[in-house]
């Protein structure tokens, strides 16, 4: 009998789990630079704690009925100036969408991203964005996300994508 999955909002007690998911997400996308990943982790951890304490970073975790965390997704409320069509003060940015390989293809990423998006809307955040991996693109499109005209420049990188 498969485990029942419960989605709960993360707390500061879950910081290490969120950090672990972030690292594993990058590893799953082919990042094998362990030095770079270690630098990212050591920089991300205090940033995460600060942003969670300031109530601008929220995370949801999918757990088995025995309490094992098997997936997670986060949203960062980015300070944003009012625009013509959106006068809210924040944009939601979904990040760190991660599911343990043994629990993939069960709709957990979809549920978690939907939970983040709905939470944003209920809390007055009208625009929610994310960056899609090739694996996640269909999931996000199915939830109403569409490509935009965003561009980027990246110091020290020839390929800015």
Domain boundaries, the chain: 5-142
With left for phi above 0 and alpha for psi between -120 and 50, is residue 38 left, alpha or beta? alpha
Pick the CATH number of 5-142 from 3.30.420.40, 3.30.1390.20, 3.40.630.30, 3.40.710.10: 3.40.630.30
What parts of the chain have a pLDDT lower than 70?
1-2, 158-161
Question: Of the candidates 25, 26, 34, which has an alpha carbon nearest to the alpha carbon of residue 100?
Answer: 25
pLDDT of residue 159: 59
CA atoms within 13 A on the CB side of 117: 16
Q: Which two tokens stand for residue 47?
A: 């940033």
What pTM was computed for the model? 0.89
Pairing label, strands 90-99, 5-9: unpaired
């Amino acid at each position: 009998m498969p485990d029942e999955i419960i989605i709960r909002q993360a707390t500061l007690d879950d910081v290490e789990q969120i950090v672990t998911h972030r690292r594993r997400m990058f590893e799953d996308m082919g990042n094998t630079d362990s030095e770079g990943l270690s630098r990212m982790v050591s920089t991300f951890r205090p940033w995460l704690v600060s942003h969670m304490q300031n109530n601008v970073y929220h995370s949801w975790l999918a757990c088995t009925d025995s309490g094992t965390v098997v997936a997670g997704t986060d949203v960062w409320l980015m300070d944003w100036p009012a625009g013509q069509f959106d006068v809210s003060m924040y944009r939601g940015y979904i990040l760190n969408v991660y599911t343990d390989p043994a629990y993939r293809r069960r709709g957990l990423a979809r549920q978690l991203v939907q939970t983040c998006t709905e939470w944003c809307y209920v809390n007055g955040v009208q625009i929610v964005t994310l960056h899609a991996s090739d694996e996640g693109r269909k999931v996000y499109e199915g939830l109403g996300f569409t490509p935009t005209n965003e561009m980027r420049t990246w110091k020290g990188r020839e390929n800015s994508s």
